[in-house]
A and B are shown apart, each in its own frame.
Chain A
Protein backbone atom coordinates (compact mmCIF):
# COMPACT_ATOMS: atom_id res chain seq x y z
CA UNK A 1 0.00 0.00 0.00
CA UNK A 2 1.10 3.60 -0.50
CA UNK A 3 2.39 5.33 2.65
CA UNK A 4 0.61 8.62 1.84
CA UNK A 5 3.60 10.22 3.60
CA UNK A 6 4.89 13.34 1.82
CA UNK A 7 8.17 13.39 3.79
CA UNK A 8 8.97 9.85 2.67
CA UNK A 9 8.22 10.80 -0.93
CA UNK A 10 10.44 13.90 -0.75
CA UNK A 11 13.31 11.70 0.45
CA UNK A 12 12.73 9.20 -2.37
CA UNK A 13 12.74 12.02 -4.94
CA UNK A 14 16.01 13.32 -3.52
CA UNK A 15 17.65 9.89 -3.84
CA UNK A 16 16.36 9.47 -7.37
CA UNK A 17 17.71 12.91 -8.28
CA UNK A 18 21.15 12.05 -6.87
CA UNK A 19 21.55 8.52 -8.19
CA UNK A 20 19.93 8.36 -11.61
CA UNK A 21 21.75 9.67 -14.69
CA UNK A 22 21.06 13.42 -15.16
CA UNK A 23 20.56 13.04 -18.92
CA UNK A 24 16.87 12.23 -19.59
CA UNK A 25 17.45 9.60 -22.30
CA UNK A 26 19.91 7.68 -20.12
CA UNK A 27 17.66 7.99 -17.07
CA UNK A 28 14.70 6.52 -18.95
CA UNK A 29 16.86 3.70 -20.33
CA UNK A 30 18.18 2.80 -16.88
CA UNK A 31 14.69 2.70 -15.39
CA UNK A 32 13.26 0.70 -18.29
CA UNK A 33 16.00 -1.96 -17.97
CA UNK A 34 15.32 -2.33 -14.26
CA UNK A 35 11.51 -2.46 -14.51
CA UNK A 36 11.58 -5.02 -17.32
CA UNK A 37 14.22 -7.17 -15.61
CA UNK A 38 12.14 -7.23 -12.43
CA UNK A 39 9.03 -8.10 -14.35
CA UNK A 40 7.17 -5.00 -13.19
CA UNK A 41 6.57 -3.81 -16.72
CA UNK A 42 5.82 -5.72 -19.90
CA UNK A 43 7.52 -3.94 -22.85
CA UNK A 44 4.49 -4.87 -24.95
CA UNK A 45 2.29 -2.80 -22.65
CA UNK A 46 4.65 0.17 -22.97
CA UNK A 47 4.48 -0.13 -26.76
CA UNK A 48 0.69 -0.37 -26.60
CA UNK A 49 0.38 2.96 -24.75
CA UNK A 50 2.77 4.74 -27.11
CA UNK A 51 1.18 3.31 -30.25
CA UNK A 52 -2.35 4.18 -29.12
CA UNK A 53 -1.48 7.87 -29.04
CA UNK A 54 0.69 7.77 -32.17
CA UNK A 55 -1.52 5.78 -34.49
CA UNK A 56 -5.11 5.83 -33.24
CA UNK A 57 -5.93 8.60 -30.83
CA UNK A 58 -5.45 12.22 -31.77
CA UNK A 59 -7.34 15.44 -32.48
CA UNK A 60 -9.11 13.92 -35.47
CA UNK A 61 -11.48 12.28 -33.00
CA UNK A 62 -12.38 15.62 -31.45
CA UNK A 63 -12.71 17.14 -34.92
CA UNK A 64 -15.37 14.55 -35.79
CA UNK A 65 -17.27 15.53 -32.65
CA UNK A 66 -17.18 19.21 -33.63
CA UNK A 67 -18.17 18.57 -37.24
CA UNK A 68 -21.07 16.39 -36.16
CA UNK A 69 -22.26 19.10 -33.77
CA UNK A 70 -22.18 21.65 -36.61
CA UNK A 71 -24.37 19.40 -38.75
CA UNK A 72 -26.75 17.86 -36.24
CA UNK A 73 -28.63 20.12 -33.80
CA UNK A 74 -29.71 17.21 -31.59
CA UNK A 75 -26.13 16.00 -31.29
CA UNK A 76 -24.97 19.53 -30.50
CA UNK A 77 -27.57 19.79 -27.74
CA UNK A 78 -26.37 16.47 -26.30
CA UNK A 79 -22.73 17.57 -26.57
CA UNK A 80 -23.42 20.76 -24.63
CA UNK A 81 -25.52 19.03 -21.96
CA UNK A 82 -23.64 15.71 -21.60
CA UNK A 83 -20.43 15.67 -23.64
CA UNK A 84 -19.33 12.32 -22.20
CA UNK A 85 -22.48 10.70 -23.60
CA UNK A 86 -22.05 12.50 -26.92
CA UNK A 87 -18.50 11.26 -27.52
CA UNK A 88 -19.56 7.76 -26.50
CA UNK A 89 -22.37 7.94 -29.06
CA UNK A 90 -19.74 8.68 -31.72
CA UNK A 91 -17.52 5.89 -30.39
CA UNK A 92 -14.61 8.21 -29.63
CA UNK A 93 -14.66 7.94 -25.84
CA UNK A 94 -11.33 7.30 -24.14
CA UNK A 95 -9.03 8.39 -21.38
CA UNK A 96 -10.28 11.43 -19.48
CA UNK A 97 -13.55 11.78 -21.38
CA UNK A 98 -15.71 10.28 -18.62
CA UNK A 99 -16.71 13.72 -17.34
CA UNK A 100 -16.17 15.74 -20.49
CA UNK A 101 -17.74 19.19 -20.76
CA UNK A 102 -18.08 21.06 -24.06
CA UNK A 103 -18.12 24.86 -24.01
CA UNK A 104 -19.34 26.80 -27.02
CA UNK A 105 -17.72 29.75 -28.74
CA UNK A 106 -20.11 32.40 -30.09
CA UNK A 107 -19.68 35.82 -31.68
CA UNK A 108 -19.48 37.30 -28.17
CA UNK A 109 -17.69 34.52 -26.25
CA UNK A 110 -14.30 32.86 -26.57
CA UNK A 111 -13.41 29.88 -24.39
CA UNK A 112 -9.90 28.81 -23.35
CA UNK A 113 -8.94 25.63 -21.47
CA UNK A 114 -5.99 25.20 -19.09
CA UNK A 115 -4.93 23.09 -16.12
CA UNK A 116 -2.91 25.34 -13.83
CA UNK A 117 -2.20 22.69 -11.15
CA UNK A 118 -0.97 19.86 -13.39
CA UNK A 119 -1.81 19.26 -17.04
CA UNK A 120 -5.27 17.66 -17.17
CA UNK A 121 -6.35 17.19 -20.78
CA UNK A 122 -9.04 15.19 -22.62
CA UNK A 123 -6.59 12.67 -24.12
CA UNK A 124 -9.29 10.43 -25.52
CA UNK A 125 -10.52 12.98 -28.05
CA UNK A 126 -7.50 15.27 -28.51
CA UNK A 127 -4.58 12.84 -28.14
CA UNK A 128 -1.40 13.88 -26.37
CA UNK A 129 -1.33 17.48 -25.20
CA UNK A 130 1.00 19.81 -27.09
CA UNK A 131 4.20 20.64 -25.20
CA UNK A 132 3.14 24.24 -24.59
CA UNK A 133 -0.08 23.13 -22.85
CA UNK A 134 2.03 21.33 -20.24
CA UNK A 135 4.62 24.09 -19.95
CA UNK A 136 4.83 26.53 -17.03
CA UNK A 137 4.38 29.59 -19.27
CA UNK A 138 0.93 28.55 -20.47
CA UNK A 139 -0.21 27.23 -17.09
CA UNK A 140 0.83 30.44 -15.33
CA UNK A 141 -0.42 32.95 -17.89
CA UNK A 142 -3.65 31.46 -19.29
CA UNK A 143 -5.71 32.52 -16.27
CA UNK A 144 -4.05 35.87 -15.66
CA UNK A 145 -3.41 37.11 -19.19
CA UNK A 146 -5.58 35.02 -21.52
CA UNK A 147 -5.78 37.78 -24.13
CA UNK A 148 -2.00 38.09 -24.19
CA UNK A 149 -1.68 34.32 -24.57
CA UNK A 150 -4.25 34.31 -27.35
CA UNK A 151 -2.39 37.10 -29.18
CA UNK A 152 0.69 34.86 -29.25
CA UNK A 153 -1.46 32.29 -31.03
CA UNK A 154 -2.60 34.99 -33.48
CA UNK A 155 -6.09 35.13 -31.98
CA UNK A 156 -7.04 38.81 -31.75
CA UNK A 157 -10.22 39.48 -29.76
CA UNK A 158 -12.13 42.74 -29.67
CA UNK A 159 -13.44 44.21 -26.42
CA UNK A 160 -16.89 42.96 -27.46
CA UNK A 161 -15.78 39.35 -27.06
CA UNK A 162 -15.76 38.00 -23.50
CA UNK A 163 -13.11 35.46 -22.57
CA UNK A 164 -14.06 32.47 -20.44
CA UNK A 165 -11.14 30.48 -19.05
CA UNK A 166 -11.77 26.93 -17.77
CA UNK A 167 -9.16 25.76 -15.25
CA UNK A 168 -9.49 21.95 -15.07
CA UNK A 169 -9.07 21.36 -11.35
CA UNK A 170 -11.20 18.19 -10.99
CA UNK A 171 -11.85 15.08 -13.13
CA UNK A 172 -13.99 17.17 -15.45
CA UNK A 173 -12.28 17.85 -18.77
CA UNK A 174 -13.11 20.63 -21.18
CA UNK A 175 -13.23 20.91 -24.94
CA UNK A 176 -14.15 24.03 -26.87
CA UNK A 177 -16.82 23.80 -29.55
CA UNK A 178 -15.52 26.34 -32.08
CA UNK A 179 -17.74 28.31 -34.47
CA UNK A 180 -18.47 26.86 -37.87
CA UNK A 181 -16.87 29.14 -40.45
CA UNK A 182 -19.00 30.85 -43.09
CA UNK A 183 -18.76 29.49 -46.61
CA UNK A 184 -19.13 25.86 -45.60
CA UNK A 185 -22.81 25.35 -46.45
CA UNK A 186 -23.45 21.89 -47.80
CA UNK A 187 -20.13 20.49 -46.59
CA UNK A 188 -20.21 16.96 -45.22
CA UNK A 189 -18.84 15.85 -41.85
CA UNK A 190 -15.47 14.73 -43.22
CA UNK A 191 -14.85 18.00 -45.03
CA UNK A 192 -15.89 20.04 -41.99
CA UNK A 193 -13.74 17.94 -39.65
CA UNK A 194 -10.67 18.77 -41.71
CA UNK A 195 -11.13 22.45 -40.81
CA UNK A 196 -11.08 21.79 -37.06
CA UNK A 197 -7.69 22.26 -35.44
CA UNK A 198 -6.55 20.79 -32.16
CA UNK A 199 -5.81 24.28 -30.87
CA UNK A 200 -9.38 25.39 -31.68
CA UNK A 201 -10.66 22.67 -29.32
CA UNK A 202 -8.31 23.94 -26.56
CA UNK A 203 -9.21 27.55 -27.35
CA UNK A 204 -5.89 28.85 -28.71
CA UNK A 205 -7.36 29.05 -32.21
CA UNK A 206 -10.68 30.68 -33.18
CA UNK A 207 -11.27 31.52 -36.83
CA UNK A 208 -11.34 28.25 -38.74
CA UNK A 209 -12.12 29.88 -42.11
CA UNK A 210 -8.40 29.92 -42.88
CA UNK A 211 -8.64 26.21 -43.66
CA UNK A 212 -11.18 26.76 -46.44
CA UNK A 213 -8.84 28.08 -49.16
Chain B
Protein backbone atom coordinates (compact mmCIF):
# COMPACT_ATOMS: atom_id res chain seq x y z
CA UNK B 1 0.00 0.00 0.00
CA UNK B 2 1.10 3.55 -0.63
CA UNK B 3 1.39 4.38 3.06
CA UNK B 4 3.69 6.60 5.08
CA UNK B 5 5.49 3.46 6.28
CA UNK B 6 7.14 3.19 2.83
CA UNK B 7 9.88 5.62 3.81
CA UNK B 8 12.84 4.60 1.66
CA UNK B 9 14.12 7.55 -0.37
CA UNK B 10 11.50 10.01 0.90
CA UNK B 11 13.01 13.48 1.22
CA UNK B 12 12.72 16.23 3.78
CA UNK B 13 13.90 14.19 6.74
CA UNK B 14 16.62 15.80 8.81
CA UNK B 15 19.62 14.69 10.79
CA UNK B 16 19.64 11.40 12.61
CA UNK B 17 19.13 11.71 16.36
CA UNK B 18 21.52 9.38 18.18
CA UNK B 19 20.30 10.17 21.69
CA UNK B 20 20.18 7.18 24.04
CA UNK B 21 21.37 4.88 21.26
CA UNK B 22 22.73 2.27 23.64
CA UNK B 23 19.59 1.91 25.76
CA UNK B 24 17.60 -1.18 24.77
CA UNK B 25 14.37 0.55 25.81
CA UNK B 26 13.42 4.19 26.14
CA UNK B 27 12.00 4.24 29.61
CA UNK B 28 9.86 1.83 31.57
CA UNK B 29 6.66 2.34 29.57
CA UNK B 30 8.51 1.62 26.30
CA UNK B 31 9.79 -1.65 27.75
CA UNK B 32 6.30 -2.59 28.98
CA UNK B 33 4.81 -1.70 25.58
CA UNK B 34 7.31 -4.04 23.92
CA UNK B 35 6.75 -6.91 26.35
CA UNK B 36 2.96 -6.58 26.18
CA UNK B 37 2.95 -6.38 22.40
CA UNK B 38 4.93 -9.57 21.90
CA UNK B 39 3.09 -11.41 24.68
CA UNK B 40 -0.31 -10.65 23.17
CA UNK B 41 0.65 -11.34 19.57
CA UNK B 42 0.94 -15.08 20.05
CA UNK B 43 -2.69 -15.60 21.05
CA UNK B 44 -4.07 -16.56 17.61
CA UNK B 45 -2.60 -17.31 14.19
CA UNK B 46 -0.99 -13.97 13.52
CA UNK B 47 1.30 -14.14 10.52
CA UNK B 48 4.19 -11.68 10.61
CA UNK B 49 3.05 -9.88 7.47
CA UNK B 50 -0.44 -9.40 8.86
CA UNK B 51 1.22 -7.76 11.89
CA UNK B 52 3.23 -5.55 9.52
CA UNK B 53 0.12 -4.61 7.54
CA UNK B 54 -1.91 -3.79 10.66
CA UNK B 55 0.96 -1.56 11.79
CA UNK B 56 1.09 0.15 8.38
CA UNK B 57 -2.62 0.93 8.76
CA UNK B 58 -2.10 3.08 11.88
CA UNK B 59 -3.19 6.68 11.28
CA UNK B 60 -0.30 8.30 9.33
CA UNK B 61 0.30 11.06 11.89
CA UNK B 62 0.39 8.53 14.72
CA UNK B 63 2.66 6.23 12.70
CA UNK B 64 5.26 8.96 12.24
CA UNK B 65 5.08 10.55 15.67
CA UNK B 66 4.32 7.96 18.34
CA UNK B 67 7.02 6.01 20.20
CA UNK B 68 8.10 2.90 18.34
CA UNK B 69 6.89 0.18 20.71
CA UNK B 70 3.72 2.16 21.33
CA UNK B 71 2.92 1.45 17.68
CA UNK B 72 3.69 -2.25 18.19
CA UNK B 73 1.33 -2.36 21.14
CA UNK B 74 -1.44 -0.57 19.28
CA UNK B 75 -0.93 -3.07 16.45
CA UNK B 76 -1.18 -6.06 18.76
CA UNK B 77 -4.28 -4.65 20.47
CA UNK B 78 -5.92 -3.96 17.10
CA UNK B 79 -5.15 -7.53 16.01
CA UNK B 80 -6.61 -8.92 19.25
CA UNK B 81 -9.81 -6.93 18.73
CA UNK B 82 -9.95 -8.00 15.09
CA UNK B 83 -9.54 -11.69 15.85
CA UNK B 84 -12.01 -11.62 18.72
CA UNK B 85 -9.94 -12.26 21.85
CA UNK B 86 -10.61 -8.70 23.00
CA UNK B 87 -13.61 -6.39 22.53
CA UNK B 88 -13.21 -2.81 21.40
CA UNK B 89 -15.68 -1.69 24.10
CA UNK B 90 -13.46 -3.27 26.75
CA UNK B 91 -10.51 -1.23 25.53
CA UNK B 92 -12.43 2.03 25.20
CA UNK B 93 -13.91 1.61 28.69
CA UNK B 94 -17.50 1.23 27.52
CA UNK B 95 -17.74 -2.30 28.89
CA UNK B 96 -16.25 -4.03 31.93
CA UNK B 97 -13.62 -6.61 30.95
CA UNK B 98 -15.04 -10.11 30.59
CA UNK B 99 -13.08 -13.36 30.70
CA UNK B 100 -10.81 -14.29 27.79
CA UNK B 101 -12.18 -16.85 25.30
CA UNK B 102 -11.81 -20.37 26.68
CA UNK B 103 -9.34 -21.48 24.00
CA UNK B 104 -6.91 -18.66 24.67
CA UNK B 105 -3.93 -19.48 26.80
CA UNK B 106 -1.56 -16.67 27.71
CA UNK B 107 2.13 -17.15 26.90
CA UNK B 108 4.19 -18.36 29.83
CA UNK B 109 7.75 -17.41 30.74
CA UNK B 110 8.86 -20.77 29.27
CA UNK B 111 7.08 -20.04 25.97
CA UNK B 112 8.92 -16.74 25.80
CA UNK B 113 12.32 -18.35 26.42
CA UNK B 114 11.65 -20.71 23.51
CA UNK B 115 10.67 -17.85 21.21
CA UNK B 116 13.69 -15.75 22.20
CA UNK B 117 16.32 -18.40 21.54
CA UNK B 118 14.95 -20.52 18.69
CA UNK B 119 14.31 -18.68 15.42
CA UNK B 120 11.66 -20.04 13.06
CA UNK B 121 12.61 -21.13 9.56
CA UNK B 122 10.52 -19.43 6.88
CA UNK B 123 11.81 -21.36 3.89
CA UNK B 124 9.13 -23.40 2.10
CA UNK B 125 9.21 -26.31 -0.29
CA UNK B 126 7.94 -25.68 -3.78
CA UNK B 127 7.74 -27.73 -6.95
CA UNK B 128 7.75 -24.58 -9.04
CA UNK B 129 11.03 -23.93 -10.84
CA UNK B 130 12.72 -20.62 -10.14
CA UNK B 131 12.15 -18.21 -13.03
CA UNK B 132 15.41 -16.32 -12.59
CA UNK B 133 19.04 -17.27 -12.09
CA UNK B 134 21.85 -15.44 -10.38
CA UNK B 135 23.29 -12.83 -12.77
CA UNK B 136 20.05 -12.40 -14.71
CA UNK B 137 18.50 -8.97 -15.31
CA UNK B 138 15.05 -8.24 -13.94
CA UNK B 139 12.66 -5.31 -13.93
CA UNK B 140 10.47 -4.67 -10.89
CA UNK B 141 6.73 -4.07 -11.14
CA UNK B 142 5.80 -0.55 -12.23
CA UNK B 143 3.00 -0.27 -9.70
CA UNK B 144 2.22 -1.54 -6.24
CA UNK B 145 -1.25 -2.41 -4.93
CA UNK B 146 -3.51 -1.41 -2.05
CA UNK B 147 -2.61 -4.38 0.13
CA UNK B 148 0.57 -5.25 1.97
CA UNK B 149 3.67 -5.68 -0.16
CA UNK B 150 7.43 -5.71 0.33
CA UNK B 151 8.42 -3.97 -2.89
CA UNK B 152 9.26 -0.44 -1.70
CA UNK B 153 7.98 2.40 -3.88
CA UNK B 154 11.51 3.68 -4.55
CA UNK B 155 12.39 0.41 -6.30
CA UNK B 156 9.38 0.16 -8.62
CA UNK B 157 9.90 -0.11 -12.37
CA UNK B 158 13.66 -0.46 -11.93
CA UNK B 159 16.14 -2.79 -13.57
CA UNK B 160 18.44 -4.82 -11.34
CA UNK B 161 20.50 -7.99 -11.32
CA UNK B 162 19.75 -11.17 -9.38
CA UNK B 163 22.44 -11.37 -6.70
CA UNK B 164 21.18 -14.46 -4.83
CA UNK B 165 18.31 -16.95 -4.80
CA UNK B 166 16.98 -18.11 -1.42
CA UNK B 167 14.50 -20.82 -2.35
CA UNK B 168 10.83 -20.18 -1.68
CA UNK B 169 9.41 -18.10 1.18
CA UNK B 170 5.79 -17.19 1.97
CA UNK B 171 4.66 -14.31 -0.25
CA UNK B 172 3.92 -11.42 2.18
CA UNK B 173 1.22 -9.94 -0.07
CA UNK B 174 -0.72 -13.23 0.19
CA UNK B 175 0.03 -13.83 3.87
CA UNK B 176 -1.46 -10.45 4.79
CA UNK B 177 -4.66 -11.54 2.97
CA UNK B 178 -4.78 -14.82 4.87
CA UNK B 179 -3.42 -16.87 1.97
CA UNK B 180 -0.40 -19.13 1.97
CA UNK B 181 1.65 -18.96 -1.22
CA UNK B 182 5.27 -20.08 -1.33
CA UNK B 183 7.24 -18.17 -3.92
CA UNK B 184 10.88 -17.87 -4.92
CA UNK B 185 12.77 -15.14 -3.11
CA UNK B 186 15.78 -13.31 -4.53
CA UNK B 187 18.22 -10.65 -3.47
CA UNK B 188 18.34 -8.12 -6.31
CA UNK B 189 21.11 -5.54 -6.77
CA UNK B 190 20.23 -2.10 -8.15
CA UNK B 191 22.56 0.74 -9.09
CA UNK B 192 21.63 3.58 -6.74
CA UNK B 193 21.98 5.89 -9.76
CA UNK B 194 19.13 3.98 -11.46
CA UNK B 195 16.83 4.59 -8.47
CA UNK B 196 17.60 8.18 -7.51
CA UNK B 197 18.21 10.97 -10.05
CA UNK B 198 20.86 12.88 -8.08
CA UNK B 199 23.15 9.87 -7.51
CA UNK B 200 26.27 9.85 -9.68
CA UNK B 201 28.43 7.23 -7.93
CA UNK B 202 28.51 3.45 -8.29
CA UNK B 203 26.84 2.63 -4.96
CA UNK B 204 24.54 -0.40 -4.94
CA UNK B 205 21.22 -1.03 -3.17
CA UNK B 206 20.19 -4.63 -2.46
CA UNK B 207 16.58 -5.67 -1.84
CA UNK B 208 15.01 -9.05 -1.08
CA UNK B 209 12.17 -9.47 -3.57
CA UNK B 210 9.67 -12.18 -4.41
CA UNK B 211 9.35 -13.57 -7.91
CA UNK B 212 5.94 -12.01 -8.65
CA UNK B 213 7.47 -8.54 -8.14
CA UNK B 214 9.87 -9.23 -11.02
CA UNK B 215 9.90 -9.74 -14.78
CA UNK B 216 12.81 -10.64 -17.04
CA UNK B 217 14.58 -7.56 -18.42
In this complex, the interface size class of chain A, counting residues with CB under 8 Å from chain B, is 35 or more
Which residues between 152 and 184 of chain B lie within 8 Å of chain A, taking CB atoms?
152, 154, 166, 169, 172, 176-178
A104 shortest CB reach to chain B, Å? 14
Q: Determine whether the beta carbon of B16 is less than 8 Å from that of A95.
A: no
Q: Determine whether the beta carbon of A96 is less than 8 Å from that of B119.
A: yes
Q: Is B57's beta carbon under 8 Å from chain A?
A: yes
Given A32-B32, A38-B98, A40-B85, A117-B17 contact (CB < 8 Å): no
Given A31-B73, A169-B209, A6-B53 contact (CB < 8 Å): yes
Say which residue of B10, B32, B40 sits within 8 Å of A28 (CB atoms). B32
A162 shortest CB reach to chain B, Å? 6
B120 shortest CB reach to chain A, Å? 6
Count B-side interface residues using an 8 Å CB cutoff.
119
The total number of A-B Cβ pairs within 8 Å is 316
Q: Is A181's beta carbon under 8 Å from chain B?
A: no
Q: Determine whether the beta carbon of B104 is less than 8 Å from that of A164.
A: no
Q: How far is the CA of A14 from the CA of B77 in the complex (A)?
A: 12
The segment out of A64-72, A125-133, A188-196 that lies at the interface is A125-133
A84 shortest CB reach to chain B, Å? 8
Q: Determine whether the beta carbon of B208 is less than 8 Å from that of A169.
A: yes
Q: Mark A126-169, 1 if CB is under 8 A from B, else 0.
A: 01101110111111111110110100110000010011111111
Which residues between 11 and 41 of chain A lie within 8 Å of chain B, taking CB atoms?
12-20, 24-25, 27-29, 31-32, 34-35, 37-41
Which residues between 29 and 54 of chain B lie within 8 Å of chain A, taking CB atoms?
29-36, 38-40, 43-46, 48, 50, 52-54
Q: Determine whether the beta carbon of B81 is less than 8 Å from that of A12.
A: yes
